[in-house]
Amino acid sequence: MAAPDRIRLTAVWTDRIEEEMSQEKYQLEKGLDLLKKEFGEESVARAVAAVSTWQVEVPSWAFGSFGGGRFSGYTPPGAARTIEEKLDDAAFVHRLTGTAGSVSTHVLWDFSRDGLHADYSLAREVFEAARQRGLKLGSVNPTYFLSGFHRGSLTSPEEKTRQRAIEQTQIAGRIAAELGQGVLSLWFPDGSLYPGQVELRHAYERMRDGLVESLRDVPPTVTVLLEYKLFEPGTYSTVIPDWGTAFLLARHVGRQAGVLVDLGHHPHGTNIEQIVAVLRSEGLPGGFHFNTRYAADDDQAVEPNPELARIFYELLLEEGSGIFPENWTFMLDQASSRENRIEAILHSIDSLQTALARACLVNRKILHQFQRQDDIIAATRFFNQALLQADVRPVLYQARSSRDLPLDPVMAYKASGYQTRIEARRV
Amino acid sequence: MAAPDRIRLTAVWTDRIEEEMSQEKYQLEKGLDLLKKEFGEESVARAVAAVSTWQVEVPSWAFGSFGGGRFSGYTPPGAARTIEEKLDDAAFVHRLTGTAGSVSTHVLWDFSRDGLHADYSLAREVFEAARQRGLKLGSVNPTYFLSGFHRGSLTSPEEKTRQRAIEQTQIAGRIAAELGQGVLSLWFPDGSLYPGQVELRHAYERMRDGLVESLRDVPPTVTVLLEYKLFEPGTYSTVIPDWGTAFLLARHVGRQAGVLVDLGHHPHGTNIEQIVAVLRSEGLPGGFHFNTRYAADDDQAVEPNPELARIFYELLLEEGSGIFPENWTFMLDQASSRENRIEAILHSIDSLQTALARACLVNRKILHQFQRQDDIIAATRFFNQALLQADVRPVLYQARSSRDLPLDPVMAYKASGYQTRIEARRV
Amino acid sequence: MAAPDRIRLTAVWTDRIEEEMSQEKYQLEKGLDLLKKEFGEESVARAVAAVSTWQVEVPSWAFGSFGGGRFSGYTPPGAARTIEEKLDDAAFVHRLTGTAGSVSTHVLWDFSRDGLHADYSLAREVFEAARQRGLKLGSVNPTYFLSGFHRGSLTSPEEKTRQRAIEQTQIAGRIAAELGQGVLSLWFPDGSLYPGQVELRHAYERMRDGLVESLRDVPPTVTVLLEYKLFEPGTYSTVIPDWGTAFLLARHVGRQAGVLVDLGHHPHGTNIEQIVAVLRSEGLPGGFHFNTRYAADDDQAVEPNPELARIFYELLLEEGSGIFPENWTFMLDQASSRENRIEAILHSIDSLQTALARACLVNRKILHQFQRQDDIIAATRFFNQALLQADVRPVLYQARSSRDLPLDPVMAYKASGYQTRIEARRV
Amino acid sequence: MAAPDRIRLTAVWTDRIEEEMSQEKYQLEKGLDLLKKEFGEESVARAVAAVSTWQVEVPSWAFGSFGGGRFSGYTPPGAARTIEEKLDDAAFVHRLTGTAGSVSTHVLWDFSRDGLHADYSLAREVFEAARQRGLKLGSVNPTYFLSGFHRGSLTSPEEKTRQRAIEQTQIAGRIAAELGQGVLSLWFPDGSLYPGQVELRHAYERMRDGLVESLRDVPPTVTVLLEYKLFEPGTYSTVIPDWGTAFLLARHVGRQAGVLVDLGHHPHGTNIEQIVAVLRSEGLPGGFHFNTRYAADDDQAVEPNPELARIFYELLLEEGSGIFPENWTFMLDQASSRENRIEAILHSIDSLQTALARACLVNRKILHQFQRQDDIIAATRFFNQALLQADVRPVLYQARSSRDLPLDPVMAYKASGYQTRIEARRV
């Protein structure tokens, strides 16, 4: 971030940025030593390496005016208005983080002229626009929830609608294979508001048959991820409400299908890291939509909380190796209604890296000793020394510093003047 | 409903309506006997009387294109476009049910030219338009969640916004006193998405001070109801998340303030009827926003489930009397995104009457005998004979029949041709 | 129930019983007509037939002093002290209901001398004792949660404990095959209290391997049901927390394994009937542990609420046929800490029959018409006419009357003097 | 902890303890600097002071064989068998932490000969036994849930039981005033399992009247804390299910009554820190029962998670002062069924101190700047730098070191040989 132009920074910030930056350098120097002393040089090195290489996809829609819900109307200033502006923002996020080189897309938002049909040639244009900005297209999402899908997509009782959903899936599969990274990510808004509105068994079976039909001609190189969601827009039922249903459907689709976990799509009280453990144990392809939830399906920016660190702990392929399973895909899925979009994305990436670093620091060998001895308090304390107690920011600073990236991406964004420029241009 | 014009009724319905209607007459004759035999003539008479006289307010906004959430875009055909059309629909609902003579209003939706300020003269016009249709204005809702309130209303850090909220509250209070039924119903979207975004204690205190200031000059005849809500739009916090907070604030406001219960605004696992029992025991003014929730804050049409019957059981003032507390107000608050709006409202009214009839049939004297003897299974079985097992539709039919109302309001609506007419007119 | 001896009935009851009984006869005569008029003769006949033939297993442990939790110490008077007394009670329940001819057993409670090992010869004695009382042994439950299993059973890190669990499973399998109905029902208390206490992935894998090993030699005629449970005794994790995990493990076990649903083992907000719909659609063996929950895993007697009726609706094999899938097993699992045990069981059976009758009355043909037309309110109202509005007690009375059973089993129990007798004997 | 005798330490531990201890010294030296650089010398000093002086009560019952639930039977070795042994353990905990000088007691467990009545003279003996061990008696808990209270305590329909509850409360009040610290802590098991089992309104009113009567003669110097609990042992209802009800009852009791928050007594999704904020804003007396819950009311040892840090943030009286409100009492309430009891208590204390230290480090002045500017991401990141990111263990080490306490109490306990000794003696 050489010489960022600092225009219109508030009084608070001109001071703070200097202070924060000097502090981070200090923390980097001193803090890394502390971590090495506690967790060992090797673990820390592995954590730094993991943070340096791990990638997460950024959703194109997070930069636009999507979002809102029932009470908003408000869009934060500077929201991107076109796919090109979204790619600009994504490229700037990647420039600041080096972590977000792929953009996940929604076909009816990003590759459609009429909001009804996907257009391969538009996808090719977007692919090219991304390439020019140093970005790739990541996972491709058919858009089953816009105009005409109010009675559902693959489970709609209307043949025409179902057909439209099938065709869209097929085009999306082709885009994923030819222009993306070979990942097709499916979420269906199908469900019901009241008992009796739909026949639950028929809905499931129509979904199963529709999936099989839609995906028959999708190239076998494409990994299909099936997302589950407890509710919304359905309140009484959604057609794939839990990972068990997603898994069952994935079996019917075939070996290249797996389960997509979105952190906000569970009932309260669900142990999400355990779902990851089971899916990983079965060797299934999988994926994540990262965000934070306190209430319902909040879709807020990711918070670096201990649950997230435990999820990363389960994701790490070899014990403590910091190497992730090849058949898993990581995506942000957040739709901030109030806060600055780009800062929210940067914050999420930072949070995910924090969780990743924490997970890498757990020494499984020692942990397993405690576990074997039924030394319960020692085990949980030792586990949480990495996941809750240690300050892992120096790991992130080290990883960034070695790649010539700014130590703190949010701070660097504030200092960059980018926000001022987009607010001026996008009115 | 003499001679409804039956235009464009689907094939399903022309048959069904005849069948349903004949059946309902049969049920009315035979079913009422069964109820009298089981619960006694007196109880049944009381239930019929209660259903005949009980009134619930219908919200103006339920008839419009409000609603949606993140995935819709769909509005059911025939949605009302203006306050006049909303009043037309409300009047038709009242004509079919005799139960919904008051319309609750939102000041910025119903009494505003710019969506920013309430306009007393407009309220007077709406009052007049309602009067011409045989309707009254019911509870008045300031609208704190439209343009400019994204940082909150009474807790906004912006003095100007706070002032606007105060002024709106004052005008709404005046409308409630002079044009309505003396009920001011307040819901605040104030809250936060992330920990640290607002200082929780300050938010509470600003709300407390803002309420006191706003309501100082509201006539003492006006009952103020404070609505609580677990989440949305805030995800991490909302300023009045539970009835305890609403109650505390009501105390600061003074004796004419009470608590407004919305069925969708609780965490899962909450015993809502017990909240009613406590509020009733304390003699506090209160109110209800009726709807059904399975998932989050669904705002779906009311279902006649046992929870609702238990709530009505707690609401009945004298034991089994069927007489409601004078200082409670009953309102629908639903915003159907998919189904026919008017049918959804009629269905809700029918469901509420069902619950009311069930609650009236419980013989408390016998129930208390079982309770005193610790005869647990007998007590719960006896309780549920009325609340779950009996068929109380004959009570509703009797109440309607005696008032010359159609036995089944939804069926009568289908037969009326009203829907066809509004679909033709409102394009 | 000819000439029940009525000893020590409280004053309340001597009157009430006469009154209730006369009323039920009246309801039977008149109420059945109403149901036939509304739902058709055929549906009602089907419902009567279904209620007449449907069977549910009663757990031996429900009659004993099991239960309690942290605060009790209280056992209702008359609790059975031995397996023979439990069988006496079960036989009396069956005599009153004609519905509960099989008793599910727990091997370390019912077939063990030391509380540590299962004893086949004891099982044979219990089988004989049951036979003499006109009862069969139903599903057989290994008991993995008593002494020595505090570190888990099949996932215990202690080889010896794991081996003991395996052996117990094998004996239980033999008992199920030779003395029972060929159903082995497995619930594992394995889990953890704190993050880091166990390695989640290892626990899952040990469970998988342990199951495969345990069940290798169980006769292929035995259906294995895997129960899942969200929490307890584990608070942070349980090894099979949801139906997805149970399903995955069942796959590893093989075709004769299925999923056991206990109504209290889900997070709040779970649509349980949809789980049934999916399992049924996949043709998987399955089973139910019926009880009611409001709070956590309450294990209270079954309440005839609409959720239960919707579950039965999904269970019915052919559309509206009232015939259940052959590969599903139905069991009560309740452990009442406060109320009369036998009344609680009778009440549960009555509630289940209520739900079954309701489910049989839904006319799917008409329902599907509404669904196809997207007539949402009509569909949910029509569905709930059977599931919520109608009074189906006459169906139960008719089914019982035709089998010479008392119309109301709880009332008949009160009148029978059985409770007085066991209270005198079991001190 | 000079020269602890290290008997029977497992191989794992003899190595680990050396390593951990050397590391902690290193962290203390280097880590404190990092914290000072980031949060300022003053904040860190305040945090150290707060951790040094803050006290939490330890419950006598945590050391005994209490606990279990439905599946256990297991008690960790070394459990205390008498109140004297419990005091021994508490004294050792206090010796290692300097933080737990008061023991909270349950009158029927600790001051009763028959388990039915409290005995003041026994309380005096326990007081003396505590004094000899350098301990005080802290909050006093009447025990309303043992033998004879199965129909409830103050709400029991049995006059005799109610009277017994009243008398017990009065004696407990006298003990609190004369032998304790003037805090009476009340939890009631009253509730119901089924709808209709009790009349909710009557239960509330009997509780209100019973409380007023019980507490009339309790000295005005005694602070009464009313605990609420969502469920258990009641499943359908508990008489004080939420803080709103506790608050209402406290008002009836009078000015010296407040609300007791137990972390496990809320529905999922409740923002507990906000409850604290509201109670603190109203200046009400209050208290805490600390423990951790993932599932229901788990009563596990405290985990130093961010929610806990946010709670401490709200508790701090003056902004960032580290001084707590005088009218609040802090207690552990945990009942570990599996892990070592004393380690679990030490771990909880350590976790609470961690949360306290984190809360002290938040610079409210800067936070408020971000809040005022609606700089949402900056605000939450800044907040979480203290509450989630920083490593505050050096604060704890500094506070302990300055008081000549072992840096890590759990490690010191392992090294002390205390566990070996009690396991030998308590068989």
Higher pLDDT, D217 or B224: B224
Chain D closest CA to B196's CA: distance in Å?
Answer: 5
Tell me the pLDDT band of B19, cut-offs 50, 70 and 90. confident
Domains identified in chain A, total number: 1
Backbone angles phi, psi at D138, to 5 degrees: -95, -135
Q: For residue D24, tell me if it sits in a domain.
A: no
Chain A hits for B73, CB-CB cut-off 8 Å, are 146-147, 150
Q: What is the pLDDT of residue C6?
A: 38
> With contact defined as beta carbons under 8 Å apart, do A264 and A231 qualify?
no
Tell me the pLDDT band of B10, cut-offs 50, 70 and 90. low
Does the pLDDT of residue A6 top 50, yes or no?
Answer: no
Q: What is the pLDDT of residue A322?
A: 56
Mean pLDDT of chain C: 92
Mean pLDDT of chain B: 92
User: For testing the chain B interface, which of A188, A198, A235, A303 should be mutated: the one with the most B CBs within 10 Å?
Assistant: A235
Encode chain B in three state secondary structure: CCCCCCCCCCHHHHHHHHHHHHHHHHHHHHHHHHHHHHHCHHHHHHHHHHHHHCCCEEEHHHHCCCCCHHHCCCCCCCCCCCHHHHHHHHHHHHHHHCCCCEEEEEHHHHCCCCCCCCCHHHHHHHHHHHHHCCCEEEEEECCCCCCCCCCCCCCCCCHHHHHHHHHHHHHHHHHHHHCCCCEEEECCCCEECCCCCCCHHHHHHHHHHHHHHHHCCCCCCCEEEEECCCCCCCCCEECCCCHHHHHHHHHHHCCCEEEEEECCCCCCCCCHHHHHHHHHHCCCCEEEEECECCCCCCCECCCCCHHHHHHHHHHCCCCCCCCCCCCEEEEECCCCCCCCHHHHHHHHHHHHHHHHHHHHHCCHHHHHHHHHCCCHHHHHHHHHHHHHHCCCHHHHHHHHHHCCCCCCHHHHHHHHCHHHHHHHHCC
Determine which helix (DSSP H) or strand (DSSP E) holds C84, and give its type and residue range: helix C83-97
Q: At what angle do helices D341-361 and D306-315 cross, to 10 degrees?
A: 60
Q: What is the pLDDT of residue A147?
A: 86
Provide CB contacts within 8 A for D20, sequence distance 6+.
Answer: D408, D411
The tokens describing A68, both together, are 């809102």
Do D280 and B201 count as a contact with CB atoms less than 8 A apart? yes
Do C375 and B301 count as a contact with CB atoms less than 8 A apart? no
Query: Smallest Cα–Cα separation from A300: which of B145, D306, B297, B194?
Result: B194
- At which residue do the structure tokens 């206990």 appear? C262
Tell me the pLDDT band of B66, cut-offs 50, 70 and 90. low
Residues in chain D where the model's pLDDT stays below 70: 1-12, 66-72, 318-322
Q: What is the pLDDT of residue B71?
A: 57
Q: What is the pLDDT of residue D256?
A: 87
Exposure of B59 in the CB half-sphere (CA atoms within 13 A)? 27
Residue D280, domain CATH: 3.20.20.150
Chain B closest CA to C214's CA: distance in Å?
Answer: 38
| B&D contacts, CB < 8 Å | 151
- At which residue do the structure tokens 């898994």 appear? A247
Q: Stretch B60-85: mean pLDDT, rounded?
A: 81
Q: What is the pLDDT of residue C5?
A: 39
Q: What is the pLDDT of residue D81?
A: 94
Q: What is the pLDDT of residue D4?
A: 37
Does the pLDDT of residue C3 top 90, yes or no?
Answer: no
Tell me the pLDDT band of A7, cut-offs 50, 70 and 90. very low
Q: Is the peptide bond before D233 cis (omega within 30 degrees of 0)?
A: yes
Q: For residue B24, tell me if it sits in a domain.
A: no
Q: Stretch C235-258: mean pLDDT, rounded?
A: 96
Query: How far is the CA of A379 from the CAs of A267, C395, D34, in angstroms?
Result: 28, 58, 27
Query: Smallest Cα–Cα separation from B303: which of C372, C306, A267, A234?
Result: C306
Dihedral-angle region of residue D78 (phi above 0 means left; psi in -120 to 50 means alpha; beta otherwise): left
Chain B closest CA to D69's CA: distance in Å?
Answer: 21
Closest chain B residue to the Cα of A265, Cα to Cα: B295
Do C34 and B27 count as a contact with CB atoms less than 8 A apart? yes
Chain A hits for B69, CB-CB cut-off 8 Å, are 69-70, 232-233
Instruction: Give the model confidence (pLDDT) of A130-168 as tens digits.
Output: 999 999 999 999 999 988 999 999 999 999 999 999 999
Q: What is the pLDDT of residue D66?
A: 61
Tell me the pLDDT band of A60, cut-offs 50, 70 and 90. very high
Instruction: Give the model confidence (pLDDT) of D6-34 as tens digits.
Output: 334 555 677 788 888 888 888 898 999 99
Instruction: Give the model confidence (pLDDT) of C329-365 as tens digits.
Output: 999 999 877 999 999 999 999 999 999 999 999 999 9
Q: What is the pLDDT of residue A17?
A: 81
User: Could you tell me the sign of the dihedral formed by the alpha carbons of B396, B398, B399, B400, in that order?
Assistant: positive
Does the pLDDT of residue A104 top 60, yes or no?
Answer: yes
Neighbours of chain B (3+ CB pairs under 8 A): A, C, D
Instruction: Give the model confidence (pLDDT) of C141-197 as tens digits.
Output: 999 998 899 999 999 999 999 999 999 999 999 999 999 999 999 999 999 999 999
Tell me the pLDDT band of A3, cut-offs 50, 70 and 90. very low
Lowest-confidence range among A1-5, A176-180, D331-335?
A: A1-5
pTM: 0.96
Instruction: Give the model confidence (pLDDT) of A69-80 as tens digits.
Output: 555 578 889 999
Closest chain C residue to the Cα of D150, Cα to Cα: C74
Chain D hits for C294, CB-CB cut-off 8 Å, are 231, 235-236
Q: What is the pLDDT of residue B5?
A: 39
Q: What is the pLDDT of residue D8?
A: 46
Higher pLDDT, B47 or A10: B47
Encode A302-323 in three state secondary structure: CCCCHHHHHHHHHHCCCCCCCC
Q: For residue B12, tell me if it sits in a domain.
A: no
The tokens describing A19, both together, are 């202070």
Q: What is the pLDDT of residue A334?
A: 94
Return the SS3 of A44: helix
Closest chain D residue to the Cα of B234, Cα to Cα: D271
Q: What is the pLDDT of residue D357?
A: 97
Nearest to D73 among C67, C147, C193 (CB): C147
Chain C closest CA to A295's CA: distance in Å?
Answer: 13
Instruction: Give the model confidence (pLDDT) of C385-424 as tens digits.
Output: 999 999 999 999 999 999 999 999 999 999 999 999 999 9
Q: For residue C394, tell me if it sits in a domain.
A: yes
Lowest-confidence range among A36-40, A99-103, C34-38, C144-148?
A: C144-148
Neighbours of chain C (3+ CB pairs under 8 A): A, B, D
Q: What is the pLDDT of residue C72?
A: 55
Q: For residue C332, tell me if it sits in a domain.
A: yes
Query: Smallest Cα–Cα separation from D47: which of D382, D314, D365, D353?
Result: D353
Q: For residue A160, tell me if it sits in a domain.
A: yes
Chain A hits for C247, CB-CB cut-off 8 Å, are 244, 247-248
Q: What is the pLDDT of residue A255?
A: 76
Q: What is the pLDDT of residue A143?
A: 96
> With contact defined as beta carbons under 8 Å apart, do A172 and A141 qualify?
yes
Does the pLDDT of residue B397 top 50, yes or no?
Answer: yes
Q: For residue B363, tell me if it sits in a domain.
A: yes
Does the pLDDT of residue A426 top 60, yes or no?
Answer: yes
Q: Stretch B380-388: mean pLDDT, rounded?
A: 98
Do B377 and C268 count as a contact with CB atoms less than 8 A apart? no
Tell me the pLDDT band of C309, cut-offs 50, 70 and 90. very high
Interatomic CA distance for residues B270 and B160, integer angstroms: 38
Interatomic CA distance for residues A297 and A299, integer angstroms: 6
Q: For residue C410, tell me if it sits in a domain.
A: yes
* Structural domain containing residue B414: 34-425
Give the single-character DSSP code of C57.
B
